[in-house]
């Protein structure tokens, strides 16, 4: 007798997690590892958040919350949109989620039906594609390159063979760190509006930019779904907390889905996260360190032979073209880990068709580690 297994689980793995496992195995053997594979801040949650969490635990206030989150946190996020972007966003449009991953699941389920076609740029965050496929949606992969700063454009979308039902954009993006120029972002928002395409804007790296400030799709497209997270700028990865800003037509469907799938987001994380909006000095100091790390790698990686780099406008990633070194980025990264202790992610995680010629470095660690990385890679590739 053979019991059926669902096809939904037959999606691609998240290769960066495989790399992290190999790096941790090396560390367990007593070998040192410099972790540039995972997009995770090396800093803990801000002190104010940790202090708040301790008080909450002592008070034992950890029952269920509303499915869309506690009102106090939704209100603080609303105030953040006013102070950071100059945008008026009603707290009723904000849904707290179990990380941005939970936000994507709710967004995709509420906006699209099985078989709908959703476009996304490659290279791009692999979980977009994998979640969409697990939910029975079709994916239109849109190859992009340095000529458009590794971002989709309205002109590219006009050339697609089949009409889209949805489009995912990320600015800054993962893995490249590139950002959409304001006029290009506005053109994309207008294109989606004119073609009745639901725009999903991944804004989880807002707050981590170098020069050009980020734009929210909320200022340009009233039908857009915005995804954000406490993991990156707010340095709260393990707290598994994110949020959505919703158009009015999706508010009730998101709430019903959240009630049934998640019950509520993590209560401790929600209550503690209210305090994160009083911690901007600490958070901005993290961004200053990322900027220094970025400068170290942009200066030193070319000396090791990594000369073709995507424009790292934001986030904490450098995406490098290594076709002059290898045509197998996965093997290259394996050898680099074994021989230098430097862990990085092969580009095939972000672009299965062309990623064998690319790799991603994450510079969210310490500046001392970035200097060590540069020295080891220059010696290794000399």
Q: What is the pLDDT of residue 4?
A: 85
Contact 109, 257 (CB under 8 A): yes
The CA dihedral of 227, 231, 235, 238, to the nearest 10 degrees, is: 160
Residue pair 291/314 in contact (Cβ under 8 Å)? The answer is: no
Determine the pLDDT at residue 224.
Answer: 98
Using the structure block, give the residue that is written with the tokens 């490659």: 122
Task: Select from 159, 161, 168, 162 the least CA-distant residue to 192.
Answer: 168
Cα(243)–Cα(270) distance, rounded to whole angstroms?
11
Long-range contacts (CB closer than 8 Å, 24 or more residues apart) made by 75-82: 76/274, 76/277, 77/243, 79/277, 80/277, 81/216, 81/218, 81/245
Q: How many CB atoms lie within 10 A of CB 345?
A: 30
Report d(CA 108, CA 254) in Å as an integer.
10
Whether 7-45+280-380 shares its CATH topology with 47-278 is answered yes
**The pLDDT of residue 1:** 65
- Within 8 A by CB and 6+ apart from 46, the residues are 234, 235, 275, 276, 279, 282, 283
Report pTM. 0.94
- The DSSP output letter for 212 is S
The continuous run of DSSP H or E covering 23 comes out as helix 15-28
**CB 97, CB 103: distance < 8 Å:** yes
CATH number, domain 7-45+280-380: 3.40.640.10
Residue 36 to residue 270: CA distance in whole angstroms? 29
**Which helix (H) or strand (E) element contains residue 122?**
strand 117-122
Sign of CA dihedral 85, 275, 45, 299: positive
Q: Does domain 47-278 have CATH number 3.40.640.10?
A: yes
257: which 2 tokens?
Answer: 């889905």
The H or E element containing residue 360 is strand 358-362
For residue 332, the SS3 value is helix
In order of 291, 297, 368, the CA distances from 312 in angstroms are 10, 11, 20
Closest CA to 137 of 16, 246, 11: 11
CB 301 within 8 A of CB 309: yes
Q: Domain boundaries in the chain?
A: 7-45+280-380, 47-278
- Max distance between CA atoms of the chain, in angstroms, equals 62
Task: Name the one residue in this structure whose structure tokens are 């996020």.
Answer: 77
Distance CA 364, CA 39 (A): 7
DSSP collapsed to 3 states, 342-358: EECEEHHHCCCCCHHHE
- Mean pLDDT, consecutive 10-residue segments, the chain of 382 residues? 82 78 87 90 96 93 94 98 97 97 98 98 96 97 96 97 97 97 97 98 98 94 97 96 97 97 97 98 97 97 96 97 96 93 94 96 96 96 83
Residues 6+ apart with CB under 8 A from 148: 156, 184
């Amino acid at each position: 007798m053979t019991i059926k297994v669902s096809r939904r689980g037959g999606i691609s793995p998240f290769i960066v997690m495989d790399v992290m496992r190999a790096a941790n195995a090396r560390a367990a053997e007593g070998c040192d590892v410099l972790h540039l594979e995972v997009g995770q801040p090396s800093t803990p949650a801000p002190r104010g958040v940790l202090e708040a969490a301790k008080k909450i635990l002592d008070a034992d206030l950890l029952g269920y919350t509303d499915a869309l989150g506690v009102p106090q946190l939704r209100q603080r996020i609303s105030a953040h949109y006013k102070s950071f972007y100059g945008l008026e966003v009603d707290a009723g449009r904000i849904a707290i989620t179990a990380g941005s991953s939970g936000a994507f699941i709710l967004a995709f389920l509420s906006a699209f039906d099985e078989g709908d076609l959703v476009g996304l740029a490659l290279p791009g965050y692999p979980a977009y594609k994998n979640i969409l496929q697990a939910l029975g949606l079709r994916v239109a992969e849109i190859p992009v390159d340095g000529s458009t700063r590794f971002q989709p454009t309205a002109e590219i979308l006009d050339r697609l063979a089949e009409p889209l039902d949805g489009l995912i954009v990320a600015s800054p993006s993962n893995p490249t760190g590139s950002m959409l120029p304001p006029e290009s972002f506005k053109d994309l928002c207008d294109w989606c509006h004119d073609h009745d395409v639901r725009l999903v804007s991944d804004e989880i790296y807002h707050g981590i930019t170098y020069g050009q400030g980020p734009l929210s799709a909320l200022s340009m497209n009233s039908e857009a779904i915005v995804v954000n997270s406490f993991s990156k700028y707010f340095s709260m990865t393990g707290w598994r907390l994110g949020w959505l800003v919703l158009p009015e037509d999706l508010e009730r469907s998101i709430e019903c889905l959240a009630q049934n799938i998640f019950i509520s987001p993590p209560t401790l994380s929600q209550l503690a996260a209210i305090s994160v909006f009083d911690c901007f000095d600490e958070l901005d100091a993290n961004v200053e360190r990322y900027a220094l790390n970025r400068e170290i790698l942009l200066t030193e990686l070319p000396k090791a032979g990594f000369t073709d780099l995507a424009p790292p406008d934001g986030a904490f990633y450098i995406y490098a073209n290594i076709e002059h070194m290898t045509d197998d980025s996965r093997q290259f990264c394996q050898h680099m880990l074994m021989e230098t202790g430097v862990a990085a992610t092969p580009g095939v995680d972000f672009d299965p068709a062309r990623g064998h010629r690319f790799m991603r470095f994450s510079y969210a660690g310490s500046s001392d580690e970035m200097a060590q990385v540069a020295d080891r890679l220059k010696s290794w590739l000399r």
